[in-house]
Amino acid sequence: MTGWSCLVTGAGGFLGQRIICLLVEKTELKEIRALDKAFRPGLREEFSKLQNKTQLTVLEGDILDEPFLKRTCQDVLVVIHTSCIIDVFGVPHRKSIMNVNVNGTQLLLEACVQASVPVFIYPSALGVAGPNSYKEIIENRETQDSLENTRSAPYPHSKKLAEKAVLAANGWTLKNGDTFYTCALRPMCIYGEGGPFLTANINEALNNNGILSSVGKFSTVNPVYVGNVAWAHILALRALWDPKKALSVRGQFYYISDDTPHQSYDNLSYTLSKEFSLRLDSRWSLPLSLMYWIGFLLEIVTLLLRPICTYQPPFNHHTVTLSNSVFTFSYKKAQQDLAYEPLYSWEEARQKTVEWVGSLVDRHKETLKSKTQ
List the catalytic residue out of 70, 159, 175, 217: 159
Residue 129 CA to residue 256 CA, distance in Å, equals 13
**String of DSSP letters for 70-98:** HHHTTT-SEEEE------SS--S-HHHHH
Closest C-alpha to 81, from 21, 34, 140, 28: 34
Edge-to-edge order in the sheet of strand 31-36: 55-60, 31-36, 5-9, 78-81, 119-123, 181-187, 253-256
Convert 47-81 to b/e letters by CB count within 10 Å (16 or more is b). beeeeeebebebeebbbeeeebbbebbeebbbbbb
Residue 251 CA to residue 256 CA, distance in Å, equals 16
Could you confirm whether 37 is annotated as catalytic? Answer: no
Any idea which residues carry the catalytic annotation? 159
